[in-house]
Amino acid sequence: MDPDQQPPFDFWPYFDSIPQDDFNGHDFSEGRVTYAWQMPNGTHQHVLVDCETPNVFLVLVLDLHASSVLGHHLLDLNRLYGLA
């Protein structure tokens, strides 16, 4: 995705409703998105919200046809791959 491209719809209300426990102590309050990938078939987009810890993201899965968020996942690459 182009870094200057606008999101396909406003997913921040969903983000704001995520329980703090799902953040596992990480701070995502800046609301900064550096990476977003659209699936080749154009139905879904994965948006990675940055936090203060390098290589840790909150992934939102967007349904582009329904303009809705399907869910979220805490992606900690440091833990998964021993990067830290």
Q: Domain total for the chain?
A: 1
Residue 4 covered by a domain: no
In a domain, 70, yes or no: yes
Domain containing residue 59:
12-81
Residue 52 lies in a domain: yes
pLDDT for 1 equals 58
What's the confidence (pLDDT) of residue 6? 86
At residue 5, the pLDDT reads 79
81: helix, strand or coil: helix
Mean pLDDT across 54-82: 97
What digits encode the pLDDT tens for the residues 14-51? 999 999 999 999 999 999 999 999 999 999 999 999 99
Is the residue at 72 inside a domain?
Answer: yes
Q: What angle do CA 82, 21, 12 make, to 5 degrees?
A: 95
